[in-house]
Every structure is written in structure tokens, then in C-alpha cells.
Amino acid sequence: MFKIFASKAQTFKPKKSIKKGTKQYELHQKIKETLGSGDLRDAIKLPPNETLHEWLAVNTIDFFNQANLLYGSITEFCTTKVCPVMSAGPQYEFLWADGKDIKKPVRVAAPVYIDYLMTWIQNTLEDEEIFPLKQEVEMPKNFLPTVKTIFKRLFRVYAHIYYSHMDRVGPLGVEAHLNTCFRHFYLFIKEFNLVDKKEMAPLQHLIDKINGRKD
């Protein structure tokens, strides 16, 4: 069973690594090379002769690691006292359920929600019945719905950081990095239609800026 409250140390999860010698590792190297060029719109596109599922799988790992590190930079300021609910402003509150240990959505503090979320994503990524490592193994039917759920919930982490912790992000010197990471994240979910538009409403003002920006 999940704990009632999680410590700050537990919220920051170790980086999910990609095993060398796998197809996912090859794709991960391609992502790093393309990102190095500075063109995010090119970096997100499905490479020629690659399968969509493999591309989604390796990017899911990368975006999980990215969000994990970003939240880790402000985790000491995100406490159950400061953030008693997981929200993105007064209009948007997010309840937690994983369908297994917690089947009925429950209200929890933001750091507890994010601890549950990062633990759930980490366990899901390590489940080879959902994310098979072997290239010859077909992706299961629940692969795409699971990927969409992961991205929907990672979006909520970004939304919470933007609404509740920008006063800390600036002084920490990570605002530019946060904006670049979110832009990369948004362009990817838009390219592959991974998150419903209504779910992105909390950050619509940022999304409008990204869509209006010309590279």
C-alpha cells in the first residue's frame, strides 16, 4: 500500500536509464544528437524507418527524467503545508488514483501526488509487459493508453510548478531551462496527440505563446 505522506527525499526518483545495446538506446542517442542542433521541432519528429511505438517509448523515459529533475530543483519548497492540494491555480485541482492501490480518486497534497506519480511512472517503465525491451516483441494494446496517461500526468507537474513555484524558479536560475523543457514537452505531445486539449487548459497562456512563436 502507498504511504499516507511521502518525504521530500522520496519524491525525487533516481534517473531511469536506458540499457545499452537496445533499440531504445540507439533512439536515445539520436534524440541527444538532434537536440544538440537546437531545433526542437525537428527533434520531436519520428525518424525515418523507425516505429512510432519505439519512438514514444524512448521519449517517455526522457520526458520522465526531465520532469523529475525539474521538480527535484524545487522539491524543498513544495511541502504539504505550502501545497496542501495538487493544483494549478484555484480553478484546477488534480486527484490521484492508480487503478490498483488507490482505485477511487483521492485528494492529496502536491508532494504526495507527485511522489505517487513518479513512483507509478518508474514502475510502469520497468514493466516489460507494457514497455518491452526486446525489439521483436510487439507493443501491448495498453501501451498507447498508458503513454497518454503518463504524459497527461507529467503535464500536471509542469502546471503545478508554473502556478505554485515560479517565485522560487527565478531565484534558482532555472526559469529558462524550465521554459525550454516545457516547450519541448508541449511540441512532442502536440505532434503525437498525446494529451487532450481540455487537460492543457491550465497552461493555455504558455501554449499560445509557443504556437505563436516562429522558429
- Asked if residue 34 has pLDDT above 70, the reply is no
Looking at residue 19, its pLDDT comes to 55
Q: How many CB atoms within 10 Å of residue 26?
A: 16
- Asked if residue 29 has pLDDT above 60, the reply is no
Please list the alpha-helical segments (H only) found in 49-174.
52-74, 110-125, 143-164, 166-172
Q: How many CB atoms within 10 Å of residue 210?
A: 16
Residue 76 DSSP class = G
CATH number for the domain formed by residue range(s) 8-212 = 1.20.140.30
pTM score, whole prediction: 0.83
The grid coordinates of residue 63 equal 520526458
CA–CA gap between residue 95 and residue 77 (Å, rounded): 21
Looking at residue 17, its pLDDT comes to 54
Residue-wise pLDDT for 52-82, tens only, equals 988 999 999 999 999 999 999 999 999 999 9
Residue 93 DSSP class = B
Domains of the chain, residue spans: 8-212
Q: Let me know: does 135 contact 58? Beta carbons within 8 Å.
A: no
SS3 of 96, please?
strand
- Asked if residue 112 has pLDDT above 90, the reply is yes
Task: Give the chain's largest Cα–Cα span.
Answer: 50
Beta bridge partners of 96: 106
CA–CA gap between residue 137 and residue 214 (Å, rounded): 40
Rounded to a whole number of angstroms, the distance between the first and last alpha carbons of the chain is 47
